[in-house]
Structure 1
Amino acid sequence: MPKSSNGRFVTVLACGLLIVLVAVYFSLTNGTFDISVMNILKTILRIHRQADYDLVIFDFRLPRIVLGLLIGFALGIAGTVIQGITRNGLADPGILGINAGAGMAVVLFMLLIQGTMSLTGWMGVMAMPLFGLAGGIAATAVIFLFARQGGKLDPQRLILVGIAMSSGFGAVTMYVSLKMNPQDYETAAVWLAGSLHGANWKFVVATLPWMLSIPVVIWLRSHVLDLFQMTEDSVKGLGVAVEREKNLLLLCSIGLVSASVAVSGSISFVGLIAPHLARQLVGLRHKHILPVSGVAGAAIVVISDFIGKTLFAPAELAAGIVVSILGVPYFVYLLLRSRK
């Protein structure tokens, strides 16, 4: 049975990576300026360099694709962790208000620090995820405070409180963004929609330390997520420090969400859809769910970004909006199914 499970996991992961590669291929070759695969290879390998191809591939398309892959991977894993901790299949960083809290902190950073102190360049880009982390932690603390009933976390109450707090954080974010000058407001509005339009290599470098370290920590604690599917008393009976493990995993998921929000804005529903797909494909072991969920999230974001920039050309629809168009019906479906 374990061998069969491992074989299925490898097959699903390989198919997921293949889908990601196909999505990357279409994103690199198609757009306002179409480029053949041969020209892309020549440009990347520095054979017969052409300035136009260099500009399109290295300054516009490649950083956008890489950032989309990192963000999707992070949100997929963060959603898996949050659903595992809360034992609630409807939990998602966007629905719970973590995205909104991190986004509010980043917008405040744009207005109060980046705007007034002219903190730009590498310093500004590297500081944004830290402010997002602070906002995400604050939002989570408030949400979990109100979601507890009788000293325990109520999964249904968590969803209701998360939706309410998300609306509140969103209202504060909108108010703060209206205080910006027109140019900064336009940037903030595009960013809040969950767009990868302004992606660059600075954003990739700023998120890379978070994306390389945190998923490893989470994967090493995957057995703890498996145990959390039992009742809390049963987990304590096995000698697990429940609160410490929950806080560590929750902090890791907030770090991933905050780093993602800091460079792309709020992209909701990836953390809802990806874990469900992973569980349906590879079973209930988080050792398998986490990587598959990350790959599924990466595919969702890159495909959504490709749809947004090509299907509506010459206009462009933010990846976050495309994911929401797909995610809202899926959320309603899960909500109705959970009531049966």
Structure 2
Amino acid sequence: MAKTGFGRYATTIFVFLGFTLIAGYFHITNGSFEMSVMDVLKTLLRIDSNPKYNLVIFEFRLPRIVIAAIVGIGLGIAGTVIQGVTRNGLADPGILGINAGAGAVIVAFMFFFQMADINVLSGTSYSIMMMPLFGFVGGALAAIVIYVFSWRNGSLDMQRLILTGIAISSGFGALSLYISLKMNAQDFEMAAVWSVGSIYSANWLYVLAALPWVVILGIVIYRKSYLLNYFQLEESSVKSLGIAVEKEKSILLLCSIGIVSACVSVSGSIGFIGLMAPHIAKRLVGLNHRYVLPTSAVIGMFLLVISDYFAKTVFAPSELPVGIVVSLIGIPYFLYLLAKAKA
């Protein structure tokens, strides 16, 4: 039985990695400047490379694909943890207001540091490296407020959790708008596009800013993923096993907030990946979080890479923010889950 479960898990991982590579191939070869497969391979392998292809691939398209992959992995992991800790299948970093909290503080950061005036290749680029840290502060603040208002009789009230998350998300969204209206024209445009979720301006510095957070905190979460299986039981039963429930939940949630904050800092507020990926993963590999967590990560990666490809090409030469494309998929899925939960 275990071998069968592992076989399904390994097959699912392999299939979605393959889907992501295919999506990446279409992403890197299509656009306003189209290239053949041989052009791409020669450029990547540094064989008779063309300076124009070098510029398009290494400075524009490849960083964008890598950022989409990193953010998709991060949101998939964070969504799995939040759903596991809260025992709520409708929980998601965006729905619970963590995205909005991180986003509001990052918009304030943009306002005070005048991000439009920063050259990412200059020595002032430390500001971009600091964005995930400021996002973490905002995400943690949102999580604390949600916890305070959702805690009832010694446990989390799931209905209050969702309602509080929606309220917090709206409040931080209004704060972001208020701050952005006080920005100069360049920073306002940057903040407005970023706030709906966009990675079109991705570069290697953004990769460097987000990758350590997702890798290090993702490893910590995976090492504790067995706890998410226990958290599906009654809390009294989990405590009887000698598990420090509140401590472990806090560690997992803080790690998730750190990952979400890093993702929001480089891609803006992209919702629904953290909602969809865990549900799809559980349908494919079962309920063991040792399997669900990595599967959710690769599914999130695929969803965001393919969504960004459609955002780039559907209305070419104009582009949609990828957050809008993800929402077009995610909102119907959320309503489907809501209707299923009521039934």
**In structure 2, distance between residues paired with 1:303 and 1:113:** 33
- Which residue identity lines up with residue 220 of structure 1 in the other structure? R
**In structure 1, distance between residues paired with 2:43 and 2:132:** 32
SS of 1:90 mapped into structure 2: coil
Q: Is the 8 A contact 2:139 2:261 kept in 1?
A: yes
Query: Is 2:62 aligned against 1:62?
Result: yes
Deviation at 1:157, TM superposition (A): 1.2
Select 1:166's aligned residue among 166, 169, 186.
Answer: 169
Deviations 1:118-155 (A, max 9, x none): 79742111100000000000010001111111221011
Q: Is the 8 A contact 2:98 2:142 kept in 1?
A: yes
Q: Please tell me the root mean square deviation across aligned C-alpha atoms, in Å.
A: 1.3
Residue 253 (structure 1) aligns with: 256
Q: Is the 8 A contact 2:74 2:263 kept in 1?
A: yes
Residue 25 (structure 2) aligns with: 25
**In structure 1, distance between residues paired with 2:130 and 2:12:** 37
**In structure 2, distance between residues paired with 1:314 and 1:95:** 32
Moved more, 111-120 or 23-32: 111-120
Q: Is the 8 A contact 1:101 1:169 kept in 2?
A: yes
Residue 4 (structure 2) aligns with: 4
**In structure 1, distance between residues paired with 2:214 and 2:167:** 29
Select 1:177's aligned residue among 159, 177, 180.
Answer: 180
- Which residue identity lines up with residue 198 of structure 1 in the other structure? S
Moved more, 94-103 or 306-315: 306-315
Deviations 1:26-66 (A, max 9, x none): 10111111111111111111111211101110010000000
Q: Is the 8 A contact 1:24 1:302 kept in 2?
A: yes
Query: Is 2:295 aligned against 1:292?
Result: yes
Q: Is the 8 A contact 1:114 1:124 kept in 2?
A: no
Deviations 1:230-250 (A, max 9, x none): 011110011000011000000
Residue 340 (structure 2) aligns with: 337
- Which residue identity lines up with residue 260 of structure 1 in the other structure? C
- Which residue identity lines up with residue 328 of structure 2 in the other structure? I
Deviations 1:249-274 (A, max 9, x none): 00010011000000110000000000
Moved more, 207-216 or 132-141: 207-216
Structure 1 runs (4+) deviating above 6 angstroms are 116-120
Deviation at 1:114, TM superposition (A): 4.2
Select 1:122's aligned residue among 125, 131, 134.
Answer: 125
SS of 1:312 mapped into structure 2: coil
Deviations 1:186-240 (A, max 9, x none): 0111111100111000000111111211111111001101100001111001100
Deviations 1:84-107 (A, max 9, x none): 000000000000000000000100
Q: Is the 8 A contact 1:193 1:265 kept in 2?
A: yes
**In structure 2, distance between residues paired with 1:316 and 1:25:** 19
SS of 1:101 mapped into structure 2: helix
SS of 1:92 mapped into structure 2: coil
Matches within 5 A, 1:306-325: 306-325=309-328
Query: Is 2:89 aligned against 1:89?
Result: yes
**In structure 2, distance between residues paired with 1:116 and 1:311:** 28
Task: Extract unaligned runs of 5+ from structure 2.
Answer: none
Residue 53 (structure 2) aligns with: 53
**In structure 2, distance between residues paired with 1:338 and 1:330:** 12
**In structure 1, distance between residues paired with 2:106 and 2:213:** 17
Q: Is the 8 A contact 2:105 2:134 kept in 1?
A: yes
SS of 2:49 mapped into structure 1: coil
Do the aligned partners of residues 315 and 86 (structure 1) sit closer, same or farther apart at CA in structure 2, a change above 3 Å counting? Answer: same
Moved more, 53-62 or 116-125: 116-125
Matches within 5 A, 1:150-165: 150-165=153-168
- Which residue identity lines up with residue 130 of structure 1 in the other structure? L
Residue 135 (structure 1) aligns with: 138
Select 1:304's aligned residue among 295, 302, 307.
Answer: 307
Residue 79 (structure 1) aligns with: 79
Matches within 5 A, 1:249-288: 249-288=252-291
SS of 1:245 mapped into structure 2: helix
- Which residue identity lines up with residue 18 of structure 1 in the other structure? G
Do the aligned partners of residues 212 and 46 (structure 1) sit closer, same or farther apart at CA in structure 2, a change above 3 Å counting? Answer: same
**In structure 2, distance between residues paired with 1:164 and 1:331:** 18
Residue 102 (structure 1) aligns with: 102
Deviation at 1:113, TM superposition (A): 3.4
Matches within 5 A, 1:197-216: 197-216=200-219
Deviation at 1:328, TM superposition (A): 0.4
Deviation at 1:117, TM superposition (A): 10
- Which residue identity lines up with residue 155 of structure 2 in the other structure? K
Q: Is the 8 A contact 1:94 1:269 kept in 2?
A: yes
- Which residue identity lines up with residue 50 of structure 2 in the other structure? Q
